[in-house]
């Protein structure tokens, strides 16, 4: 346990969605390397309030890397420098004394800024509402062990389902595409036997909803590198394959 | 019952979209009710149910190890130290099996054996393997399952979702719940919503302790505002301290992180026998280690229930045997399991937990033992509800962690997810009908009713009030101080002297809060400082009630340990003659003078016994 000193923060401030934004600089004279990145912002905010200034707005909640609420571009990287780590799990031991750290909100036209570092990610919800579910109303489910699922299949589904919906993939993508998020959701459900009935209907609806909000994927792979859950871009391939198939499978199903 | 074609005539407002709220809102939508769901998050998927790690219990007996509905029921009542309502718990155990079926059908990728069937693990307080899990992310997978069902209903137009909006008051007209008043977090707009029934699924109040494993935004406001409008608050002193959390590293720590109790399946808990031990952990020989849980509780060992394990850890640390730089933890050691099962097996079971631990502490649990210490985690107390999950305000229902009903004085691991989904999917959608059926074709008060208008004005004035104080300290400062008082005097070990001290200190600090709070920014744009101030304000009044309840309950039971009531070897001493009841507190208008009511607990099947895990 040791202390870092003289951290310089360059933080994006913006009063509202339509206001002009600006960078503000703040100094953290001393901080323990055991502190998390967000605790450093807490300390800054408490100081700002005591000085009569408005606290920096940022999204955060569980601080365990699972709820997906936190965001932040830190030195131009979504969720900062540590691989496979959400901002809330990033600790100051990843930084050096005297560092200048630039903190910005997610950058994507589909995620408009609400205030300071907080953005609106609700297009993700629209994608799930379009088809990211299995229709299984409460009450009618058969016994759980009636549907055996090979372990590798369950594991692959779980790998995709680990997505926390934070939006880092979109923020890191030069096109602002949401293919990793959508692909992960589609893989999670399309891999499972329970997900087969709606497989192609789901894929078509979700992809088209996605396309109405986000940019297109051109296989940069930045999304996988930025993902705090290290979700694989293989899921994008699964999505694309199922989307292509959906175009004739759905038509065939309709013609019956 | 309500006829299917009449269901659309009823509007139900569901506040909170965690496991309980999302599953209830989705089920209401499927049934045909008009539903509005409210969350203060940006999306329902952010609710703190998502952080539950270990698993969900169900009496499936898939392992053929003798599990049954009766055994799960009995374990839960016993685990709750005989302070839960028998009928509710039995219903929970019955419904548990349907939850697993439902969640699998929805696509929750539970862990499986190679043959394709579902895998189970064991959990504290049980001698069977009945816990279903999805790696260490069971809560996440279940919440996403429930969220998907809710999203489907939103997409179909059956449920209207209000996000980034917070409940600030509950409105009653003619002693019935008529709706709620909310505040839009984006622009501070205060608005009323009227409905036939209101469901609170707003979670627990563990953040009263400031440091807890709860998410930062978890708060008591919805339940507390309902309490102030007449809903009784039951057993507020029943709070659960989870034995396996990462110890506090320094003073400005904002929250504590849980390491799933499932780790205790393969980890052994120990401290050095010598309080002055200075050798590195690997060099401490086997016979100089105290595996205290295995020693004191041989039959349950490292899987002793949470309250028992937590107190044992506290005793070890208080005796100076603590480990780590601040000597504030105990070891959770995987070396023996790694030797027996191989590193790969252990890593597969717990990889995400190991990684999380390493990110936070900078230490690798594959090489050296984890350091853990108890922390506030879950609250068994909550709004009092009857068997139909209705509070003392007709038309106001409460589900999930926010109510008090199923866990008694201590909740067993992997039972919170079970209760949330049980209430939301399988109980409330049916038990709400009798209340609604009486209201068929009768007009309900609209939001122009005087009661709504008055409540809106009170809420606006209250929020403006925080801005107008113009003191010197932000809300976090007061929350931290309040949490310290509650943790010191109403935490793992409580005494009359301590509680009386807390009851003097909390109102004094609250008075200072009202004089010296500083909230910067304005009330008409997004203001997280203002949101926090209102939540801390409610924690003050709740803190007083927690201490009052702990002081009144002159016994030790479950998570409530009174140092005056213990056996010679330091175990909890229950008093079934005088305290086998639920204490339900009524708001009197003065936070320091709540009115006590008692609901006697009648057991027809269960027999009182001293819990022994030895």
Those residues whose C-beta lies under 8 Å from the C-beta of residue A9, and which sit 6 or more positions away, are: A25, A26, A27, A28, A44, A100, A101, A103
Which alpha helices (DSSP H) does B438-495 contain, by range? 450-469, 475-490
Q: Which residues of B touch A132 (CB under 8 A)?
A: 148, 151
Q: How confident is the model at residue A256 (pLDDT cuts 50, 70, 90)?
A: low
- Closest chain A C-alpha to B566 CA, distance in angstroms: 36
Residues of A in contact with B161 (CB under 8 A): 125
- Kindly state the helix (H) or strand (E) to which residue B36 belongs, with its residue range: strand B34-38
Q: Strands B11-15 and B197-200: what pairing?
A: parallel
Alpha-carbon span B533 to B555, nearest angstrom = 35
Residue B310 resides in a domain: yes
Q: Report the pLDDT averaged over residues B47-65.
A: 95
In a shared domain, residues A144 and A245 = yes
Q: Is residue B436 assigned to a domain?
A: no
| Whether residue A164 is found in the same domain as residue A80 | no
Spell B392-415 as b/e; 16+ CB within 10 A means b: bbbbbbbbbbbbbbbbbbbbbbbb
CATH number of the domain bearing residue B569: 1.20.58.100
Of A71, A86, A115, which one is at a domain's C-terminal end?
Answer: A115
| Residues of B annotated catalytic, as ranges | 306
CB contact under 8 A, A138 and B425: yes
Q: Are residues A171 and A110 in the same domain?
A: no
Nearest by CB to residue B48, choosing from A62, A128, A149, is A62
* CB B242, CB B374: distance < 8 Å: yes
Residues on chain B touching A34 (C-beta within 8 angstroms): 249-250
A151 plus A217 within the same structural domain: yes
Structural domain includes residue B340: yes
Of A64, A138, A161, Cβ closest to residue B144: A161
In Å, how far is B168's CA from the nearest CA of chain A? 20
Judgement on whether residues A152 and A218 belong to the same structural domain of the protein: yes
Whether A111 and A140 share a structural domain: no
Task: Count Cβ atoms within 10 A of the Cβ of residue B508 and give its class: 0-12 exposed, 13-18 middle, 19 or more buried.
Answer: exposed
Give the separation between CA B501 and CA B99, rounded to whole angstroms: 45
Signed CA dihedral, B150, B153, B157, B158: sign only: negative
Domain end (from A99, A115, A131)? A115
CATH code for position A66: 3.10.20.30
Render pLDDT for A211-254 as a digit per residue (tens, 0 to 9).
Answer: 999 999 999 999 999 999 999 999 999 999 999 999 988 777 77
- The 3 state secondary structure assigned to B87-108 is HHHHHHHHHHHHHHHHHHHHCC
Instruction: Tell me the per-residue pLDDT of B233-260, one tens digit each, with 9 for 90 and over.
Output: 999 999 999 999 999 988 889 999 998 8
Cβ pair A151:B151 closer than 8 A: no
- Whether B342 maps to a domain, the answer reads yes
Q: Do A68 and B141 touch (CB under 8 A)?
A: no
Same domain, A184 and A83: no
Q: A72 and A158 share a domain? A: no
Whether residues B112 and A150 touch (CB distance < 8 A) is answered with yes
Average pLDDT on A114-129 reads 98
Q: What is the model's pLDDT at position B125?
A: 74
CA B255 – CA B246 distance, rounded (Å): 10
- Is A154's CB within 8 Å of B529's CB? no
pLDDT digits (tens, 9 = 90+) for B492-521: 999 999 999 999 999 999 999 999 999 999
Confidence of residue B318 (pLDDT cuts 50, 70, 90): very high
Asked whether residue B81 is domain-assigned, the answer is: no
Write out the residue range of the structural domain in which residue A231 sits.
Answer: 122-255
> Which of A136, A147, A152, A190 should be substituted to probe chain B, the one whose Cβ sees the most B Cβ atoms within 10 Å?
A136
Residues in A touching B356 (Cβ below 8 Å): 64-65, 89
Contact A52 B520 (CB under 8 A): yes
Contact B152 A133 (CB under 8 A): yes
Spell out which residues of chain B touch residue A70, defining contact as CB-CB under 8 Å.
none
Cα atoms found within 13 Å of the Cα of residue B340, Cβ hemisphere only: 6
Q: Which ipTM score applies to this complex?
A: 0.97
In the sheet that holds B34-38, the strands lie side by side as: B159-162, B34-38, B11-15, B197-200, B396-398
Going along A79-137, which residue ranges are E strands?
Answer: 100-104, 113-115, 118-119
Burial label, B90 (beta-carbon count in 10 A; 0-12, 13-18, 19+):
buried
Same domain assignment for residues A127 and A110: no
Distance (Å) from the C-alpha of residue A61 to the closest C-alpha of chain B?
5
In angstroms and rounded to an integer, the radius of gyration of the C-alpha atoms of chain A is 21
Do B462 and B372 have their domain in common?
no
Beta bridge partners of B121: B131
Three-state SS at A37 = helix
Our count of domains for chain A comes to 2
Least confident of A111-115, B364-368, B500-504: B364-368
Please report which confidence band the pLDDT of residue B614 belongs to, taking 50, 70 and 90 as the band edges. Answer: confident
Interface test with B, best of A138, A150, A167, A184 (most B CBs within 10 A): A138
Which of B414, B47, B218 minimizes the C-alpha distance to A67? B47
B137 is a domain residue:
no
pLDDT digits (tens, 9 = 90+) for A4-46: 999 999 999 999 999 999 999 999 999 999 999 999 999 999 9
Domain count, chain B: 2
Domain carrying residue B480 = 449-580
């Amino acid at each position: 346990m040791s202390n870092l000193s003289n951290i310089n923060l360059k933080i994006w401030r913006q009063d509202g969605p339509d206001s002009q934004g600006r960078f503000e600089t703040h100094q953290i004279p001393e901080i323990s390397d055991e502190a998390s990145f967000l605790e450093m912002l807490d300390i800054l905010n408490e100081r700002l309030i005591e000085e009569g200034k408005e606290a920096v707005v940022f999204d955060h909640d569980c601080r365990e890397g699972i709820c997906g609420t936190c965001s932040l571009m830190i030195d131009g990287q979504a969720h900062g420098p540590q691989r496979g780590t959400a901002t809330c799990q990033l600790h100051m031991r990843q930084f050096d004394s005297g560092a200048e750290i630039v903190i910005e909100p997610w950058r994507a036209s589909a995620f408009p800024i609400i205030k300071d570092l907080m953005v609106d990610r609700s297009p993700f919800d629209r994608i799930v509402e379009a088809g990211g579910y299995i229709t299984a109303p409460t009450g009618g489910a058969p016994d759980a062990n009636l549907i055996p699922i090979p372990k590798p299949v369950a594991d692959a589904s779980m790998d995709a389902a680990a997505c926390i919906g934070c939006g880092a993939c979109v923020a890191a993508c030069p096109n602002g595409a949401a293919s990793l998020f959508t692909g992960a959701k589609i893989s999670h459900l399309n891999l499972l036997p329970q997900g087969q009935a709606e497989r192609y209907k789901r894929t078509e609806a979700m992809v088209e909803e996605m396309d109405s909000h986000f940019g297109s994927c051109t296989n940069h792979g930045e999304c996988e590198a930025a993902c705090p859950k290290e979700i694989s871009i293989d899921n994008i391939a699964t999505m694309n394959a199922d989307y292509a198939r959906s175009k004739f499978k759905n038509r065939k199903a309709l013609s019956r | 019952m309500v006829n299917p074609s009449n269901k659309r005539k009823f509007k139900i407002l569901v506040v909170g979209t965690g496991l309980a709220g999302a599953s209830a809102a989705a089920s209401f939508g499927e049934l045909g009710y008009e539903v509005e769901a409210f969350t203060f998050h940006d999306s329902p998927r952010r609710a703190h149910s998502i952080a539950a790690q270990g698993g969900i219990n169900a009496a499936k007996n898939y392992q053929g190890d003798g599990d049954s509905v009766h055994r799960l029921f009995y374990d839960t009542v016993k685990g709750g130290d005989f302070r839960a309502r028998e009928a509710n718990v039995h219903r929970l155990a019955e419904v548990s099996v349907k939850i697993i079926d439902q969640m699998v059908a929805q696509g929750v990728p539970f862990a499986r054996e190679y043959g394709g069937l579902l895998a189970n693990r064991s959990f504290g307080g049980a001698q069977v393997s009945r816990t279903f899990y999805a790696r260490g992310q069971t809560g996440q997978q279940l919440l996403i399952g429930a969220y998907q069902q809710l999203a489907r209903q939103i997409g179909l137009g059956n449920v209207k979702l209000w996000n980034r909006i917070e409940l600030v008051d509950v409105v009653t007209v003619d002693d019935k719940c008529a709706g709620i008043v909310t505040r839009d977090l984006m622009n501070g707009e205060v608005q009323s919503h009227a409905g036939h029934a209101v469901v609170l699924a707003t979670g627990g109040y563990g953040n009263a302790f400031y440091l807890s494993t709860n998410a930062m935004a978890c708060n008591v406001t919805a339940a507390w505002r309902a309490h102030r409008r007449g809903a009784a608050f039951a057993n507020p002193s029943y709070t659960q301290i989870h034995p396996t959390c990462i110890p506090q590293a320094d003073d400005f720590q904002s929250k504590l992180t849980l390491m799933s109790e499932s780790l205790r399946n393969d980890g052994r808990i120990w401290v050095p026998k010598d309080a002055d031990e200075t050798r590195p952990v690997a060099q401490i020989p086997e016979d100089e280690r105290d595996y205290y849980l295995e020693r004191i509780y041989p039959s349950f060992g490292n899987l002793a229930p949470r309250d028992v394990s937590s107190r044992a850890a506290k005793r070890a640390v208080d005796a100076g045997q603590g480990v780590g730089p601040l000597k504030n933890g105990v070891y959770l050691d995987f070396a023996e399991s790694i030797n027996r099962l191989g590193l790969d097996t252990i890593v597969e079971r717990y990889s995400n937990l190991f990684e999380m631990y390493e990110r936070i502490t900078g230490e690798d649990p594959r090489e050296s033992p984890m350091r853990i210490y108890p922390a506030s985690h879950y609250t068994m107390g909550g709004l009092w509800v009857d068997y139909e999950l209705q509070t003392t305000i007709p038309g106001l229902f409460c589900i999930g962690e926010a109510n008090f009903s199923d866990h008694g004085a201590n909740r067993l691991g992997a039972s919170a997810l079970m209760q949330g989904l049980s209430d939301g999917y399988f109980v409330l959608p049916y038990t709400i009908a009798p209340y609604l059926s009486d209201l068929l074709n009768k007009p309900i008060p609209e939001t122009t009713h005087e009661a709504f208008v008055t409540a809106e004005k009170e809420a606006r004035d209250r929020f403006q009030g925080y801005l107008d104080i113009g003191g010197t300290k932000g809300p976090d400062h007061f929350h931290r101080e309040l949490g310290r008082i509650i943790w010191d005097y109403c935490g793992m070990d409580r005494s009359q002297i301590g509680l009386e001290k807390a009851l003097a200190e909390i109102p004094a600090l609250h008075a200072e809060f009202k004089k010296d709070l500083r909230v910067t920014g304005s009330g008409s744009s997004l203001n997280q400082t203002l949101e926090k101030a209102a939540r801390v304000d409610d924690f003050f009044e709740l803190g007083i009630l927690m201490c009052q309840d702990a002081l009144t309950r002159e016994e030790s039971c479950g998570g409530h340990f009174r140092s005056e009531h213990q056996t010679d070897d330091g175990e909890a001493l229950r008093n079934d003659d005088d305290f086998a009841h639920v204490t339900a507190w009524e708001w009197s208008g003065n936070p320091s003078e709540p009115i006590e009511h008692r609901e006697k607990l009648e057991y027809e099947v269960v027999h009182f016994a001293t819990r022994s895990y030895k």
